[in-house]
């Protein structure tokens, strides 16, 4: 077992300070953006939110939330004792690279302004900021992939290989990104020790979640070529092919049973992606409770911090758009 007792003891204290439902309710009850930002600054997660006037204070707050989490991830990585557990935590953090590549491709394909695209990145940024900025400002998906690849992204290099002959849409490129990231993480967590097994189980969950998302995205249409990511435990390739041929409703029911999630959470791609991610995070939290001296504790904590950042950013954006507080709470508590 890794020597994680000191790092994990610190994490226990930090976890108790995560913003919960009460803080979200209070944030939504504030009457103005400035009053909401003032409350955010009083939370541990929002201590870095700038006080000086900014052209886009919401974007500034989101950047600060993510920057604070990036710093915390780096700090925890430095506190982990031992080369092997540190390498495993670094491998988990490196999974963010696929999410970053996909966020860029989605933003460029939608014609979103590059600053709005950058605002959607996961917290523990794996790629150089300038490469991300150049890619997010690209005029086409192909140019964005090239900019990321030239900026040092191995995941983007795998996506570039999938570009020639890819079917229309982003799905084949997103599958290529996830396939490369999951394969890299699976290679990093080979071994029989507990921490390696914990990460290997999580990586298998991610492979299953990717395949589940692909099943739902196919929406009953049989794939032209096998789109599945290897390494999952819930279905083999033959079972996935059969579910794809079975149609939309059988596939949705199978995914809902396997994770499990509520079937209604799988009706829309974005909601399904969030539901599957929550299921993977919940599995990490169970590992952390069962193995309190293991790598599962920092993994589960950082996953919870990512979710905290997402909820706070969603609360700020939703309140700025004057969406009903109760409707927002339904989303935030999902």
Domain 83-184 has CATH 1.20.120: no
What value does the mean pLDDT take over residues 297-307?
Answer: 93
Which helix (DSSP H) or strand (DSSP E) does residue 261 occupy? none
- pLDDT reported for residue 172: 93
Across the chain, which distance is largest between two alpha carbons, in Å? 57
User: Rounded distance, CA 124 to CA 252, Å?
Assistant: 31
Angle, CA 70 vertex, CA 66 and CA 72 arms, to 5°: 115
Mean pLDDT value across the chain: 89
- pLDDT reported for residue 17: 92
**Structural fold of domain 1-80+306-334:** Topoisomerase I; Chain A, domain 4 (1.10.132)
Count the neighbouring beta carbons within 10 Å of the beta carbon of residue 264. Answer: 11
pLDDT-derived band at 1 (thresholds 50, 70, 90) equals: very low
Q: Which has the higher per-residue pLDDT, 130 or 116?
A: 130
Give 263's DSSP letter: G
Q: pLDDT at residue 134 above 60?
A: yes
- pLDDT reported for residue 52: 80
Q: Which has the higher per-residue pLDDT, 325 or 150?
A: 150
- pLDDT reported for residue 81: 80
Q: pLDDT at residue 324 above 80?
A: yes
- pLDDT reported for residue 3: 56
Give 126's DSSP letter: -
Model pLDDT for residues 164-183, shown as the tens digit of each residue: 877 778 999 999 999 999 99
Do the Cβ atoms of 184 and 154 come closer than 8 Å? yes
Do the Cβ atoms of 132 and 125 come closer than 8 Å? yes
- pLDDT reported for residue 184: 96
Q: pLDDT at residue 119 above 70?
A: no
Q: Which sign, positive or negative, has the C-alpha torsion 97, 101, 106, 107?
A: positive
Count the neighbouring beta carbons within 10 Å of the beta carbon of residue 293. Answer: 16
Model pLDDT for residues 246-263, shown as the tens digit of each residue: 988 999 999 999 998 999
Model pLDDT for residues 94-113, shown as the tens digit of each residue: 999 999 999 999 999 999 87
**Which segments of 126-193 does DSSP mark as H helices, in order?**
129-136, 141-150, 154-162, 171-188
Q: For residues 81, 307, 210 and 190, what is the CA-based torsion angle, rounded to 10 degrees?
A: 10
pLDDT-derived band at 2 (thresholds 50, 70, 90) equals: very low
Model pLDDT for residues 27-83, shown as the tens digit of each residue: 999 999 999 999 999 999 999 898 887 678 888 898 899 889 989 999 989 888 888
Residue 270, both tokens: 């974005």
- pLDDT reported for residue 63: 85
Identify which of 248, 250, 283 has the alpha carbon closest to the alpha carbon of residue 268.
248
What value does the mean pLDDT take over residues 112-137?
Answer: 75
Do the Cβ atoms of 210 and 229 come closer than 8 Å? yes
Model pLDDT for residues 10-33, shown as the tens digit of each residue: 888 898 899 998 999 999 999 999
Q: pLDDT at residue 137 above 50?
A: yes
Q: Which backbone phi and psi does 23 adopt, to 5 degrees?
A: -65, -40
């Amino acid at each position: 077992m890794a020597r994680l007792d000191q790092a994990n003891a610190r994490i226990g204290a930090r976890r108790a300070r995560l913003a919960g439902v009460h803080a979200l309710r209070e944030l939504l009850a504030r009457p103005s953006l400035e009053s909401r930002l003032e409350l955010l600054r009083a939370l541990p997660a929002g201590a870095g939110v700038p006080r000086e006037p900014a052209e886009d204070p919401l974007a500034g707050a989101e950047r600060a939330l993510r920057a604070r989490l990036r710093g915390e991830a780096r700090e925890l990585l430095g506190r982990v004792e031992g080369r092997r557990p540190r390498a495993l935590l670094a491998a988990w953090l490196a999974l963010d690279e696929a999410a970053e590549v996909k966020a860029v491709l989605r933003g460029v394909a939608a014609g979103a302004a590059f600053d709005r695209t950058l605002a959607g990145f996961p917290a523990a940024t794996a790629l150089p900021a300038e490469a991300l900025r150049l890619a997010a400002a690209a005029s086409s998906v192909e140019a964005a992939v090239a900019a990321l690849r030239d900026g040092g992204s191995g995941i983007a290099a795998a996506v570039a290989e999938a570009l020639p002959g890819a079917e229309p849409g982003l799905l084949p490129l997103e599958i290529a990104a996830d396939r490369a990231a999951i394969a890299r993480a699976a290679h990093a967590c080979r071994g029989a020790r507990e921490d390696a097994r914990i990460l290997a189980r999580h990586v298998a969950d991610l492979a299953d979640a990717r395949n589940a998302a692909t099943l739902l995205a196919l929406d009953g249409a049989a794939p032209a070529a096998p789109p599945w990511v290897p390494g999952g435990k819930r279905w083999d390739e033959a079972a996935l092919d059969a579910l794809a041929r079975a149609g939309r409703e059988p596939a949705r029911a199978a995914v809902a049973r396997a994770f499990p999630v509520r079937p209604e959470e799988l009706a829309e791609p974005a909601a399904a992606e969030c539901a599957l991610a929550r299921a993977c995070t919940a599995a990490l939290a169970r590992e952390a409770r069962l193995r309190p001296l293991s790598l599962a504790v920092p993994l589960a904590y950082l996953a919870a911090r990512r979710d905290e950042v997402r909820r706070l950013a969603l609360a700020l954006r939703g309140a700025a758009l004057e969406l009903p507080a109760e409707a927002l709470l339904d989303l935030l508590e999902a």
